[in-house]
Amino acid sequence: MKFKDYYKIMGVAPDATPDQIKTAYRALARKLHPDVNKAKDAQARFSELGEAYEALGDAPKRASYDELRAQGWREGEEFHAPPQGARAGGDPRRGPFAGGGGDGMDADQFSDFFSSLFGQRAGRGRREAGPQRGEDIHHRIEITLEEAYAGGERQLQLQLPPDERGQAVRRSLRVTIPKGLVEGEVFRLRGQGTPGATAELNGNLYLEATIAPHRLFTVDGRTITLDLPLAPWEAVLGAQVSVPTLGGPAQVTVPAGSKDGQILRLRGRGLPGTPPGDQHVCLRLTVPPGATAKAEELWRELAKESAYDPRSQLGGQP
């Protein structure tokens, strides 16, 4: 069995913060997802990434793994875990792990290396001799921006791999959508993959969230942006304006002398998270349609009074 460098697999430094590890996982999961990446090794790399994140995304597991890695083990070296319940002895590079962590997780979905550190059940290399585990399933789910913000429930119709007789299998499943999902984030439904020899050996369902276009907002990570139309006098004089947000209307002060394209920020009004995202309000100046004779007269008066030349910086003729 080969030693795995989970930091190298995830492309992060050994001193990476939990948030950096989570961000790296999301980016790589989006890139390697089998529905997106058609390379022959995409599924294997996606599974390896999930294993690395399972180890590094959990603080106790990461601490134990770091203790082992600090003893000099490197990617690809032959690795032999200490016997069950024993601590390493002799070779100083043999880690402080027992043969299984016994935390009740589905360690058998990962490699023998992972199972030798954290799990009690056999890894991939030993499945043939024991009860068969079901396959994991990967699907995309398109959600609304409102569901990304507040969570929700959705009835899914899933097309599963053919059964033993080659018959197509469909399943109807009620899915709880966690709040705070961002574009490309993958969440797991334990035991909702294809059936295994027992319920405990069922595969898992991995759903990758894609956020549908919204009529008002655009989304970038946890930040949402709204184009806010302004009348010319609101931009010049300033105004109190009601602005839609995902959490309900908010009152915004438009400063006097605002310019087209200027950004106002509503802190914490984007998608939930740690920390939550912000909402950007992009000011867009608009021209009133269908001016009356009186309005035209006032506009001419304003033009004379202001003596403003918006093209003064262009200089003379080229």
Whether the predicted pLDDT of 121 surpasses 80: no
Before 289, cis peptide (omega within 30)? no
With 70 as the cut, is the pLDDT of residue 100 above it? no
Sketch out the chain's domains with CATH numbers: 6-129 (1.10.287.110), 137-211 (2.60.260.20), 217-306 (2.60.260.20)
Q: Which CA distances in Å does 34 have to 148, 162, 188?
A: 23, 18, 15
Distance of alpha carbon 225 from alpha carbon 210, whole angstroms: 17
* In the predicted structure, residue 21 carries a pLDDT above the cut 50: yes
Q: In whole angstroms, what is the distance from residue 173 CA to residue 237 CA? A: 55
pLDDT, average across residues 279-301: 90
Residue with tokens 């802190």: 267
Model confidence at 106, pLDDT cuts 50, 70, 90, reads very low
pLDDT higher than 70, residue 29: yes
pLDDT in tens, 202-245: 888 888 899 999 999 999 999 999 999 999 999 999 999 999 99
How far apart are alpha carbons 112 and 277 in whole angstroms? Answer: 39
Q: How far apart are CA 201 and CA 259, in angstroms?
A: 60
Are the C-beta atoms of residues 285 and 262 closer than 8 Å to each other? no
- The vertex-26 CA angle with 22 and 27, nearest 5°, equals 120
pLDDT digits (tens, 9 = 90+) for 138-174: 888 899 999 999 999 989 887 776 666 666 678 888 9
Higher pLDDT, 168 or 39: 39
Q: Where are the alpha helices (DSSP H) in the chain?
A: 6-10, 18-32, 42-56, 59-69, 112-118, 145-150, 232-237, 293-306
CA–CA dist 143, 93 (Å, integer): 48
DSSP conformation class of 58: S
Quote the CA–CA distance of 122 and 113 in Å, as a whole number: 10
- In this prediction, residue 199 carries a pLDDT of 82
Note the pTM of the prediction, 2 decimals. 0.59
| Range of weakest confidence among 32-46, 121-135, 251-265 | 121-135
Residue 61 clears pLDDT 50, i.e. is over it: yes
pLDDT of residue 134: 78
Query: Where does the pLDDT of residue 50 fall: very low under 50, low under 70, confident under 90, or very high at 90 and above?
Result: confident
Q: What is the per-residue pLDDT across 174-206, written as a single tens digit (0 to 9) for each?
A: 999 999 999 988 888 888 887 777 888 888 888
The residues near 254 (Cβ < 8 Å, ≥ 6 apart) are 230, 234, 235, 238, 239, 240, 241, 264, 283
Is-contact 207 189, C-beta < 8 A? yes
Reported as a pLDDT band with limits 50, 70 and 90, residue 313 is confident
- Average of pLDDT values for 294-298? 89
Instruction: Kindly tell me if the per-residue pLDDT of 120 is higher than 50.
Output: no
